[in-house]
Chain A
Amino acid sequence: MHNPQLNKHGELQHLLTIDGLPRDVITAILDTAAPFTEVAEREVKKLPLLRGKSIFNLFFENSTRTRTTFEIAAKRLSADVVNLNVSTSSTAKGESLLDTVDNLCAMQADMFVVRHAASGAPFLIAQHLLATGRDHIHVVNAGDGRHAHPTQGLLDMYTIRHYKRDFTNLTVAIVGDVLHSRVARSQISALTTLGVPEVRVIGPKTLLPTEVERMGVRVFHDIREGLKGVDVVMMLRLQNERMNGALLPTPQEYYKVWGLTAEKLALAKPDAIVMHPGPMNRGVEIDSSVADGTQAVILPQVTFGIAVRMAVMSMLAGQQGSNK
């Protein structure tokens, strides 16, 4: 099947999901991100790569960290960044998603960074651009519904590679609310594509998607059992805002059973790292002593996220369209 993210030369045209991305493309993104990390230490924290390009941050759903890191990444590449908080603008007046896109294309947009509560919205935009012959404009998915959050998945892979070097001898546990998590889906795709031999998913039955095993993971409903001997613990945020119905008793109850405490973390390998995509609910899915502890790499994840987004945006902007 044609992968809508790649042009006919197999180069990245849009970044919509990690699912289906070839391993060499993922590795190329991580390799490209590495030299970008050093820019933060310069006197002038700017590279001229995207000078004159206009990048529109289209956030149909609130986000501070993701939008900010995309904005910083684009600015460090010298692009002009326009932030649209669409939830409070034209859409509220009834404009359709594709009409908004068409209007921004008329303002000479070069790239859209899109977050949307509906799964597939960035894909819809990419298809629309292709169908209307505007394939020089690129789309980056910054999180769509429950579907995917590819740059988060990629920055997590960058973080794991930074601390663990090699993926092919790791046991990685993803813990918590997998059901509502687009981050978890991107992580699982990336980890399996990069050759991690054992990916574990740990959570209560009500917060795991049905047939999650089919994604190639081992499922644990007992966190102590699941954490035994793992190299990497990837915590997920409990997504209260996406829950309807009684999936959970109370946050306190959740913490007691599923919260990552120092005592539970001690079951993992002594050099295991703890990751969290943020924002953290301290005292719900993670204890403060772990979040601030020596094994946590949660803040480095944020820093690496800027470099990974710089890599993605500059690789995309370097492609001149699928008809090149």
Chain B
Amino acid sequence: MQKLDAEALFQTLVEQMRPHVTPDTALVGIHTGGVWLAERLHQALGLKQPPGSIDVSFYRDDFGSKGLHPQPKRTEIPFDVEGAHVIIVDDVLYTGRTTRAAINELFDFGRPARVDLAVLVDRGGRELPIAARYCALTLPQPLPASQNLQLETDAAGALTLRLIDA
């Protein structure tokens, strides 16, 4: 697989989203990579609503087999979900199960007018009927399950993507 330039992908994502957002569009990042990404997107797109964050630990569908994820983070939705245009932001789209959990959780805060999904990379391997409206890169070949693609950030907020063995 070619080296992925996360900052370049970020710019691509910004340009894809820009024509479709208004200052009132709200972003919700999925912990942890999606939260960093949502903060960067929020700045780059000049949105008014403070970005929210979701930890889907309490909504996962593998609780029965894997138990509670250790050290779940706080879900924070600092805007009124009722009637809002919400874009869920994640770093990598894989099976779609995390997105499903995030949508379910979001609806426990109210009824949004519209929900979209924005991701940096679609790595293939979907197990649910979920697609990203905004996606900077779709890998031509799905990544094998033995590998993880992970977003990282440094102190200055610069993004990098790293391929690690699962």
Give the B-binding residues of A (Cβ under 8 A): 11, 28, 31-32, 34-35, 38, 42-44, 46-49, 314-315, 317-320
Contact = CB atoms under 8 A, between A and B. Distances in A.
Contacts, number: 50
The SS class assigned to the A binding surface is: loop
Given A35-B73, A35-B74, 6 more contacts: A28-B70, A42-B109, A43-B108, A44-B109, A317-B63, A318-B68
Contacts of B71: 28, 31-32
A264 B108 CA distance: 47
Nearest to A319: B67
A317 B104 CA distance: 21
A32 B68 contact: yes
A282 B26 CA distance: 49
A11 B74 CA distance: 22
B66 A318 contact: yes
The SS class assigned to the B binding surface is: loop
Nearest to A311: B68
A35 B109 contact: no
Given A28-B71, A32-B68, A314-B68, A48 B109 contact: no
B15 interface: no
15 contacts: A32-B71, A35-B73, A35-B74, A38-B74, A38-B75, A42-B108, A44-B108, A46-B108, A49-B58, A314-B58, A315-B68, A318-B67, A319-B67, A320-B65, A320-B67
B86 to A, nearest CB: 14
| Most chain B beta-carbon contacts within 10 A, residue among A44, A48, A315, A320 | A48
B144 interface: no
Contact of B63 (A34, A38, A318): A318
| Most chain A beta-carbon contacts within 10 A, residue among B58, B63, B70, B104 | B58
B58 A47 contact: yes
B72 A35 contact: yes
A315 to B, nearest CB: 6
Contacts of B73: 35
